[in-house]
Amino acid sequence: MDALTIHEAAQTTGWSARMLRYVERLGLIEPQRSAAGYRIYGAGELQRLRTLRELLDEHGIGLGDVAFAERLRRERDLRTAVEGWIESEPRRPETVSADDWLRWEQEKHARLLAAATAPTPTMETTA
């Protein structure tokens, strides 16, 4: 039995029928339709529904996030714009006035010590 109706699909995947429609409206999973317009979930959709659930739970993200990720890879200009902005990395304080700069340098050590307790050691670059 591969072709399931929405309620059957809901039952076997742990989603609700309501959410299946919602997931579809977000453009994440769009099942085939029968001649009468009934949604028909095949094995592929069922698999994607289950892995989608895992994806959300394991990384603490939302449906909207996945939808946005899809937009990112479908809309090229959007992707380049977003990536371009992100890559315009925050500069060192090369732009501030000299006296302030001194203060910053002085406090930098204190700041670094404080920051050492905070989790942000990811300095990887894919450039």
Signed CA dihedral, 39, 44, 48, 49: sign only:
positive
DSSP 90: P
Contact 44, 3 (CB under 8 A): no
Q: Is 12 in the site for DNA (CB under 7 A)?
A: no
Q: Is 85 in the site for its own copies (CB under 8 A)?
A: yes
Of its own copies, DNA, none, which one does residue 90 interact with (CB within 5 to 8 Å by kind)?
Answer: its own copies
Rg of the chain over Cα atoms, rounded to whole angstroms, equals 24
Residue 110 to residue 105: CA distance in whole angstroms:
10
Q: Which is closer to DNA, CB of 44 or CB of 64?
A: 64
Minimum separation from the CB atom of position 26 to DNA (A): 6
Residue 120 to residue 47: CA distance in whole angstroms:
35
Figure out which of the listed residues 2, 113, 116, 119 binds its own copies, where binding follows CB under 8 A: 2
Figure out which of the listed residues 13, 23, 47, 121 binds its own copies, where binding follows CB under 8 A: 47
Residue 19 to residue 62: CA distance in whole angstroms:
13
Q: Which of residues 26-65 bind DNA (CB under 7 A)?
A: 26, 34-39, 62-64
Query: What residues make contact with DNA under the rule CB under 7 A?
Result: 5-8, 16-19, 21-22, 26, 34-39, 62-64, 123, 125-126
